[in-house]
């Protein structure tokens, strides 16, 4: 079924991105996974192509285009199993915070360097004591003259070990609950900031995920992003789009898994024919194909709503929940169809299966998505 959201110019862009990723990044991915991070030259290469911070206006170094281009970059990255690079987090989640809430000085300082790949950005929300409950943060930013003193710890931070900038959520008024949360732009070269160990994960081995420590980090007043005490609302305002990003990934992952499974079962000989000759195999792949078509229809509709700034928190939650559960259904079927080969690391289906499980946790756990939808009924 043709995806009517995308025009011919978008499909031309998709073809260009796919060819570039296949030739320039896919062969390097094993080395990235072994190193536990994506090298800066890959970030700079993305910047040279103009594929970082595409949502940001040209005045700040971006492309100034709508979310369809960001979606294409996501889909082509994940369709190839390039699950490690944190380009979308940097470009589509963090950069819009600066654009929406930053001062002109903050925008000029960070956005052009983020667009070229010179500066890598991360966001520090999750703490050892909890992730989904942002109101329960323990990291504090106490007023000190014209600035703040930041103390605390973050964990599971994507882009954490390579970041030059971290958008940190901290309590400026611990007694005020959600109204006491503020956001800060933390330059990782500041004294008192320390990057912890890279965390060993089940999958996404090329994604540098780490702990971050803040020990009496002195921040100037100009490091405050937006207004003091408005951080929680700022974080919540962008969550529907952030969750849709994950949903977009899931359909691309499902497509990749089905493509590999289809190729395998049409070649694999068993019981006097190919695995594809068996009715059960065709039935299982039919379920996958239907899930993928439904996924495109629903998630493309959500993307259209996002472009018009009409995507609701409930719709973002629905997209993430449905997409991640669909993705894991398809991955499980497709790995099973590979038999023992599906459990071998040399087969991309095994790596994608391991890489994708976290998406039912990241960006708000599935249980939180159900609660958001349930409360809206």
User: Is residue 324 over pLDDT 90?
Assistant: yes
Model pTM? 0.95
Average pLDDT of 318-346? Answer: 98
3-state secondary structure string, 204-268?
Answer: CCCCCEEEEEEEEEEECHHHEECCCCCHHHHHHHHHHHHHHHHHHHHHHHHHHHHHHHHHHHHHC
Q: Is the pLDDT of residue 329 over 70?
A: yes
**Alpha carbons 28 and 22: distance in angstroms, whole number:** 10
What class, spelled out in words, does domain 122-228 have in CATH? mainly beta
Write phi, then psi, for 298 (nearest 5 degrees). -70, -45
Q: What phi, psi does 91 have (nearest 5°)?
A: -85, -45
Mean pLDDT calculated for residue range 323-334: 98
The boundaries of every CATH 1.10.540.10 domain in the chain are 8-119
Dist CA 214 CA 193 (whole Å):
5
Residues 244-267, buried b or exposed e (16+ Cβ, 10 A)?
bbbbbbbbbbbbbbbebbbebbee
CA 198, CA 210: separation in Å to the nearest integer? Answer: 4
Residue 24 CB contacts under 8 Å (≥ 6 apart), including other chains: 45
The pLDDT tens digits for 131-181 are 666 777 999 999 999 999 999 999 999 999 999 999 999 999 998 988 999
**Residue 242 among the catalytic residues:** yes
pLDDT in tens, 203-242: 999 999 999 999 999 999 999 999 999 999 999 999 999 9
pLDDT, tens digit, for every residue of 257-305? 999 999 999 999 989 999 999 999 999 999 999 999 999 999 999 999 9
DSSP secondary structure letters along 78-112 = HHTT-----HHIIIIIIHHHHHHH--HHHHHHHHH
User: Residue 146: how many CB atoms within 10 A of its CB?
Assistant: 8
**Three-point CA angle 36, 37, 39, nearest 5°:** 140
CATH superfamily of the domain spanning 8-119: Acyl-CoA dehydrogenase/oxidase, N-terminal domain (1.10.540.10)
Is 80 exceeded by the pLDDT of residue 314?
A: yes
CATH of region 233-375: 1.20.140.10
User: At 129, is the pLDDT very low, low, confident or very high (cuts 50, 70, 90)?
Assistant: confident
What are the start and end residues of each CATH 1.20.140.10 domain in the chain?
Answer: 233-375
Select which of 37, 76, 242, 255 is catalytic: 242
Q: In the chain, which segments carry CATH 2.40.110.10?
A: 122-228
């Amino acid at each position: 079924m043709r995806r009517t959201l995308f025009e011919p110019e978008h499909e031309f862009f998709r073809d260009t991105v796919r060819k570039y990723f296949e030739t320039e990044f896919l062969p390097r991915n094993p080395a990235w996974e072994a190193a536990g991070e994506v090298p800066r030259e890959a970030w700079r290469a993305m910047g040279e192509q103009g594929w970082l911070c595409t949502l940001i206006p040209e005045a700040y170094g971006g492309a100034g285009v709508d979310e369809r281009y960001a979606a294409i970059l996501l889909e082509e990255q994940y369709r190839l199993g390039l699950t490690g690079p944190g380009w979308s987090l940097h470009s589509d989640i963090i950069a819009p915070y600066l654009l929406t809430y930053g001062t002109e000085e903050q925008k000029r300082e960070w956005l052009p360097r983020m667009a070229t790949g010179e500066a890598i950005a991360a966001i520090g929300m999750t703490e050892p004591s909890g992730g989904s409950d942002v109101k329960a943060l323990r990291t504090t930013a106490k007023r000190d003259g014209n600035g703040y003193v930041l103390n605390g710890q973050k964990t599971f931070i994507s882009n954490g070990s390579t970041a030059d900038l971290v958008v940190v959520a901290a309590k400026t008024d611990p007694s005020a609950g959600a109204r006491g949360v503020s956001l800060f732009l933390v330059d990782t070269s500041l004294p008192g900031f320390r990057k912890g160990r890279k965390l060993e994960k089940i999958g996404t081995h090329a994604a540098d995920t780490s702990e971050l420590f803040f020990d009496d980090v002195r921040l100037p007043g100009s490091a405050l992003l937006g207004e003091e005490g408005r951080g929680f609302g700022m974080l919540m305002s962008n969550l529907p789009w952030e969750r849709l990003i994950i949903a977009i990934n899931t359909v691309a992952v499902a497509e990749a898994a089905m493509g590999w499974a289809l190729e395998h079962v049409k070649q694999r000989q068993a019981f006097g024919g190919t695995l594809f000759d068996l009715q059960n195999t065709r039935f299982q792949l039919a379920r996958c194909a239907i899930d993928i078509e439904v996924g495109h229809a629903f998630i493309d509709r959500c993307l259209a709503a996002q472009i018009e700034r009409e995507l609701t928190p409930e719709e973002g939650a629905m997209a993430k929940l449905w997409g991640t559960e669909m993705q894991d259904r398809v991955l499980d079927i497709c790995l099973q169809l590979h038999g023992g080969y599906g459990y071998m690391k040399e087969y991309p289906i095994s790596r994608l299966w391991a890489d994708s499980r976290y998406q039912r946790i990241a960006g708000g756990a599935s249980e939180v998505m159900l609660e958001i939808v349930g409360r809206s009924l």
